[in-house]
Chain A
Amino acid sequence: MEISFDKEIRQLRLGAGETFHGEGILAITKALLQSGVAYVGGYQGSPISHLLDVMVQAKGYMDELGVHVQACSNEASAAAMLGASIHYPLRGAVTWKSIVGTNVASDALSNLASPGVTGGTLIVVGEDYGEGASVIQERTHAFAMKSSMVLIDPRPDLAVMVRMVEEGFCLSEASSLPVLMELRIRACHVRGSFTCKDNLAPADSTRKRFAEPAGFDYAKLAHPPAVFRHEKLKGEERLPAARRYIVDHHLNEMFDAARNDLGIIVQGGLYNALIRALQLFDLADTFGTTQIPMLVLNVTYPLVPEQFTSFCIGKRAVIMLEEGQPEYIEQEIATLLRRRDIQTPLHGKDLLALAGEYSIELIARGLSGFFSRYGWADVTPPVEAWLAANQARREAVADLLPAPLPPRPPGFCIGCPERPVFSALKLAQRDIGPLHIAADIGCHAFATFEPFSSGHSILGYGMSLASTAGIAPMIERRSLAIMGDGGFWHNGLITGVQSAIFNRDDVVLLIFKNGYTSATGTQEIISTPNQLTRDTARDKLQSLTSTDLTIETTLSGLGVKWMKTVHTYRVAEVRRVLLDAFTSDFAGLKVIIAEGECQLERQRRIKPWLAALMKSGERVARVRYGVDEDVCSGDHACIRLSACPTLTLKDNPDVLKVDPVATVIDGCVGCGLCGENAHVASLCPSFYRAEIVTHPRWHERMVAAIRHSVIKVFARS
């Protein structure tokens, strides 16, 4: 990737007493080093990409400390990496996006949690839930419970998050349990500060290696009969040890208060939202001092029964704030209270929403119901008035607008190499009829939005081809699976391609070869054009993905017989290759490699290069497209085939015409899709391609001058 993390790496080097300023996820990264972590791995994904990106770039410093960093091929390989801590006293940390990453990792996690760990292991998961999330809405909590792993959900305060990382490793070692730490989206991106400690170089490391491997120990294998003993150990020794640690080190926080007839139990991650909600009732001040007792669970699994009983006894009622469903914590507390015959009423999902992010408004509404039920009539009126006023304002704005505002989902970048393929696919379907299209995870999933509205299903990262296995034989027309190179290496090669070849599936697979896992932040993969090629390319404008053939050779090696490579911007060719694939007599797996390097990465190379050429007075040609406003038909068919952000509308300069015309605005990178579409789809002849040459060479200037003088004669006639 072409982004530099120098500034972040400097932050990682801070020593004791210095103050760190920055994002939550970088603070976690620093905390790993302060804890003496020996190895780090993971798979990128919002919101935790930053952890790994920075670590990978900080290779020099990591070598100094003796820390091994690995960008794993998927979450399963990251989880398996933690196997190092089963036998050896090595602290290890891995990271990924959850719930999806945890799903992929779960096989290895089960097999890790069963024998348990010697060295502390921490799994940092970005809980991609609520506003801004991009995956299915499920809870990581279930995995912690089923595999008996600790789950930390820290208060979103940098100092607390850092402390919980350090405690997490100790807790893991004290209990032999792997520890998960879930961080919500906003907690990963929160900017704050904390006072640093020195980084600890791990005792055993890449600089101080073990002389010999550990001895054979059957009990450390996830294999029968050892697994039967492991299950017992979890309940009889490990979980109790974890509970002891949680209590002894005050990981959960109990806040007592004056009005102690009611109480609130809250996941640590929701603490700030709860305090802001309580401020609305005038039950908390700016600094978090509350008038109602609170039990803040920085560790949400395992729960410590004694903490709940002591909190609940003597209260008229308690309410549990637990985001997501099902309400595992609330259910466990209910069981606990029932078993000990404690009659304190327990509320939670009965007063708060079952699904969705717990926003401050939603929490306030739930608490208002709770307080009024138990007679705290003095605190609810201002909140009820506030809730009603919010509603009234929303209605007032809605009344003012002619229609609800159109949504604005993310989309393909300007000049994205994937957009033209979906234009071609739209056009190809005009010829062969609608297709069953299995979509996948990646930037290309943006094609599910308007104007392409393409794709029948998304079954997971790299799963598109596998997901055609059941439907393809049932449909007359061939089915199409779309996959990015990121998804291909993550999973698609094995679950999709291998299976399709083995079963002789008659399907079409289109692989976007853009060179990076772009949707997660353009991380590099095995087929990324190598750095030397990128640095030494003479023409930085060109796509360099063709310089790496790992995907092609892998597919040939696996036995793919029908494989065609096509340059994505050539819409006519892409359309033709699609038609070929769908009408070919060849009955096996047909693979189309759609090649075009990620525009985001290219622009990061191109911009400084062009600026340098410009400065040194060398010839630079830039391309952009335009629309002739008096020729444009104003029906916007071109936009319905592309939706490039720079192809937009402006008022029609012709006073007789009422509909806006298409226009190309600044920012056009001259990818050429407009012109290609105009040709392939026979759109109106309003598009032109403009090449602007700065510092033209002498012969160019001469030719231009001759042309100009001849044309002048014509123009007069």
Chain B
Amino acid sequence: MPGPAQPITILVCALGGEGGGVLTEWLVEAARLAGLPVQGTSVPGVAQRTGSTTYYIEVYPHALDAGAKRPVFSLSPVPGAIDLLVSSELLETVRHIGLGMALANRTTIISASTRTLTTHERLHMGDGRVPSEPLLAAISRHSLEHQVFDMATLARESGTAVSAVMLGAIAASGVLPISRAQFERVIADDVRGTASMKGFAAAYGALTRQKESRDFVASAHAVGEAPQPDTTAAPTTGAKADFAEFPEAVRPTLALGFARMLDYQDERYARLYLDRVRTICAAEASQAGLALANDFATSRECARYLALWMAFDDIVRVADLKSRKSRLRRVRDEVKVKPGELLKVYDHFRPGIAEVAALLPEAVATRLRSWDRKRQARGAEAFAPALKIPLHGILGFASLKILSSLRWLRPHGSRYQEEQVLIEKWLAAVARGATSNWQLGQELALCGRLIKGYGSTNEQGKNHLLHIVDHLAAAAFFSGEEERALAVRDARVAALADDSGKALDVVLSSRGAPKTEVREIPIKFVRQRQPPKAEPAPAK
């Protein structure tokens, strides 16, 4: 009998519904085929979809005689005593490293490079995603060896579940004394055999190659990093402008902004954009040292958010974007239309009075809005037809095309006028801030991020920004401009963190500024029926 070897321990992390149970079954079967004592277990319930789940397997590395005493296997993983950690999701990998499971001089980690975002990350109004870099760093620091690769794509290309890919990776890792043929036999016996075998082989091949190149860390980071857009390449458009008078650091963003204005409206509007950025650059240049040290970050960010604000989304813009040729191509790719298949696309719209009024002159717009308000006061729902416009139909496409040609109407509309006033107000605050304290200018410029979207989202963003401009940038009392800059930053972060505006109010109050105004929401207040009056006491 071989010496008192310890069982090989494997922790599998997956999301509910990904086939972790099947993977455990395969591993147990493979070990059994190889004649090795084995035990596997798990905690998930039967229908606990999408939550994080773990499976734990122990394999004794030597065959035992029939009557021999069997190892006592553990039912749960022991921190620092895991030989192989396999995970189908990057954050889940690190969750278990964070629980102390992996050990730098023992654990081999095989992890997906991709993220399946948690609900919590997806809810944020800005960007609530956990960055991948620290996750990858945790893997490389707490593993003996690690192989991080795109399991989801391999699975998709093989037409199988991620569990087959994970099995291939485990087989290739060489951690288990089980041959490739033994693993393959287990899969072949399974009902889902053929596709699983493809996924298994793909992962086995990919990992063997990666292992041979011995370049795990490099490959891990190559996969994990988000692609950085090349901002230097400005799109080519008709009108040309000379950006030489602007600081070099600002030019790439400026070029993009300029092109956006041309695409959105016309050359006159694009020139207005340049004039506006010029003012901010001049203001920032008054703090020459800091501006240079920071590569004109205030002007850069201001140029970014100004472009987005000036190209505010309205019916014309949406109709234009939706009816472009490139858009239809993108949709075909996204929904994976194969040759010979027909595609029908329906666009969901629900334009309200506000959207229509936006394109009309102020006087007409006011009348239209008051008509709708009166209707609502009578108990009717706000006028906003729910439309499903068939883009593949002649009428549907034509109506979008016609709407998109109404660009000329835009500058005469009430919304255009209103937006310009607000933009000027924000820019003035940024310029004032940039002149008095570089940091303050920077924070106010970044507040442009609050402006996005349509309808009530857009309204709320504007209200929040204006509130910051009115009360933090100017009115409230601070001991210094640095403190004011910090207050602006906190307010911006809070406004992005919570769409109810409560977090922003907390920050505002803590700085002595008034809370945001409570928006009027008509609530139908319904009282319960009144309790029955007490019955008179029965006569004796």
Say yes or no: B123 contacts A450, CB within 8 Å. yes
Which residues of chain A have C-beta atoms less than 8 A from B334's C-beta? 626, 664
Say yes or no: B94 contacts A405, CB within 8 Å. yes
Closest to A645 in B: B50
Contact of B51 among A408, A600, A664 (CB under 8 A): A408
User: Once the chains are docked, how many angstroms separate the CA of A680 from the CA of B130?
Assistant: 31
Say yes or no: A707 contacts B72, CB within 8 Å. no
Closest to B24 in A: A191
Contact of A397 among B29, B98, B336 (CB under 8 A): B98
User: Once the chains are docked, how many angstroms separate the CA of A533 from the CA of B69?
Assistant: 54
Say yes or no: A393 contacts B80, CB within 8 Å. yes
Instruction: Show 20 A/B contacts (Cβ-Cβ < 8 Å), sorted by A.
Output: A132-B44, A157-B72, A191-B25, A193-B32, A390-B79, A401-B98, A406-B121, A431-B522, A477-B527, A506-B528, A572-B386, A600-B47, A628-B327, A630-B327, A636-B124, A658-B126, A675-B348, A682-B455, A684-B453, A707-B392
A288 at the interface (CB under 8 A from B): yes
* With known contacts A21-B32, A190-B39, A684-B457, A649–B117 Cβ distance under 8 A: yes
Which residues of chain A have C-beta atoms less than 8 A from B131's C-beta? 402
Nearest-Cβ distance from residue A709 to partner chain B, whole angstroms: 10
* With known contacts A400-B141, A655-B256, A714–B397 Cβ distance under 8 A: yes
Contact of B346 among A390, A413, A689 (CB under 8 A): A689
Say yes or no: B449 contacts A186, CB within 8 Å. no
Nearest-Cβ distance from residue A675 to partner chain B, whole angstroms: 5
Nearest-Cβ distance from residue A56 to partner chain B, whole angstroms: 14
Chain B interface main SS type: loop
Say yes or no: A704 contacts B91, CB within 8 Å. no
Say yes or no: A407 contacts B118, CB within 8 Å. yes
Task: Tell me how many residue pairs across A and B have CB atoms closer than 8 Å.
Answer: 368
* With known contacts A286-B60, A628-B321, A413–B388 Cβ distance under 8 A: no
User: Once the chains are docked, how many angstroms separate the CA of A286 from the CA of B308?
Assistant: 65
Chain A, range 309-365, C-beta contacts under 8 Å to B = 359-361
- Interface 0/1 of A400-424, CB less than 8 Å to B: 1111011111111100000000000
A616 at the interface (CB under 8 A from B): no
Say yes or no: B76 contacts A711, CB within 8 Å. no
B223 at the interface (CB under 8 A from A): no
User: Once the chains are docked, how many angstroms separate the CA of A275 from the CA of B58?
Assistant: 14
Contact of B75 among A49, A156, A193, A682 (CB under 8 A): A156
* With known contacts A405-B130, A407-B120, A707–B393 Cβ distance under 8 A: yes
Say yes or no: A635 contacts B397, CB within 8 Å. no
B384 at the interface (CB under 8 A from A): yes
Say yes or no: B527 contacts A272, CB within 8 Å. no
Say yes or no: B75 contacts A390, CB within 8 Å. no
Say yes or no: A688 contacts B347, CB within 8 Å. yes
Chain A, range 9-65, C-beta contacts under 8 Å to B = 21, 46-47, 49-50
Say yes or no: B49 contacts A411, CB within 8 Å. yes
Say yes or no: A519 contacts B47, CB within 8 Å. yes
A77 at the interface (CB under 8 A from B): no
Say yes or no: A400 contacts B137, CB within 8 Å. yes
Say yes or no: A690 contacts B345, CB within 8 Å. yes
Say yes or no: B341 contacts A186, CB within 8 Å. no
Nearest-Cβ distance from residue B467 to partner chain A, whole angstroms: 18
Task: Give the interface segment out of B3-11, B174-182, B205-213, B364-372.
Answer: B3-11
B350 at the interface (CB under 8 A from A): yes
The 4 A-B pairs with the shortest beta carbon distances in the complex, nearest first, are: A633-B453, A132-B43, A410-B51, A46-B45
Which residues of chain A have C-beta atoms less than 8 A from B92's C-beta? 408
Nearest-Cβ distance from residue B53 to partner chain A, whole angstroms: 8
- Interface 0/1 of A514-537, CB less than 8 Å to B: 000011111000000000000000
Contact of B49 among A403, A413, A688, A707 (CB under 8 A): A413
B97 at the interface (CB under 8 A from A): yes
Contact of A450 among B73, B120, B141 (CB under 8 A): B120
* With known contacts A397-B138, A405-B130, A643-B122, A690–B344 Cβ distance under 8 A: yes
* Of listed A400, A443, A475, A518, residue having the most chain B CB within 10 A: A400
* Of listed A386, A408, A637, residue having the most chain B CB within 10 A: A408
Say yes or no: A520 contacts B47, CB within 8 Å. yes
* With known contacts A443-B47, A688-B391, A187–B75 Cβ distance under 8 A: yes
- Interface 0/1 of A639-672, CB less than 8 Å to B: 1100101011101010111111000101000000
Which residues of chain B have C-beta atoms less than 8 A from A639's C-beta? 119, 122-123
Contact of B528 among A478, A600, A656, A678 (CB under 8 A): A478
Say yes or no: B130 contacts A666, CB within 8 Å. no
Which residues of chain B have C-beta atoms less than 8 A from A690's C-beta? 331, 335, 343-346
Q: What class of interface size applies to chain A in its complex with B?
A: 35 or more
Say yes or no: B129 contacts A656, CB within 8 Å. no
Say yes or no: B526 contacts A450, CB within 8 Å. no
User: Once the chains are docked, how many angstroms separate the CA of A505 from the CA of B74?
Assistant: 53
A693 at the interface (CB under 8 A from B): yes
A691 at the interface (CB under 8 A from B): yes
User: Once the chains are docked, how many angstroms separate the CA of A342 from the CA of B16?
Assistant: 51
* With known contacts A286-B7, A476-B527, A635-B453, A518–B344 Cβ distance under 8 A: no
Which residues of chain A have C-beta atoms less than 8 A from B318's C-beta? 631, 685
* With known contacts A46-B45, A520-B46, A633–B134 Cβ distance under 8 A: no
Say yes or no: A633 contacts B452, CB within 8 Å. yes
- Interface 0/1 of B248-269, CB less than 8 Å to A: 0000010011001000000000
A715 at the interface (CB under 8 A from B): yes
A549 at the interface (CB under 8 A from B): no
B188 at the interface (CB under 8 A from A): no
User: Once the chains are docked, how many angstroms separate the CA of A409 from the CA of B44?
Assistant: 11
User: Once the chains are docked, how many angstroms separate the CA of A132 from the CA of B529?
Assistant: 44
Which residues of chain B have C-beta atoms less than 8 A from A209's C-beta? none
B41 at the interface (CB under 8 A from A): yes
A692 at the interface (CB under 8 A from B): yes
Say yes or no: A656 contacts B71, CB within 8 Å. no
A538 at the interface (CB under 8 A from B): no
Contact of A405 among B24, B91, B304, B524 (CB under 8 A): B91
A398 at the interface (CB under 8 A from B): yes
Contact of B97 among A397, A412, A451 (CB under 8 A): A397
Task: Give the interface segment out of A199-207, A373-381, A459-467, A579-587.
Answer: A579-587
Say yes or no: B76 contacts A186, CB within 8 Å. yes
Nearest-Cβ distance from residue B14 to partner chain A, whole angstroms: 11
Which residues of chain B have C-beta atoms less than 8 A from A694's C-beta? 338, 340-341
Which residues of chain A have C-beta atoms less than 8 A from B384's C-beta? 682
B499 at the interface (CB under 8 A from A): yes
A539 at the interface (CB under 8 A from B): no
Contact of A286 among B6, B47, B325, B394 (CB under 8 A): B6
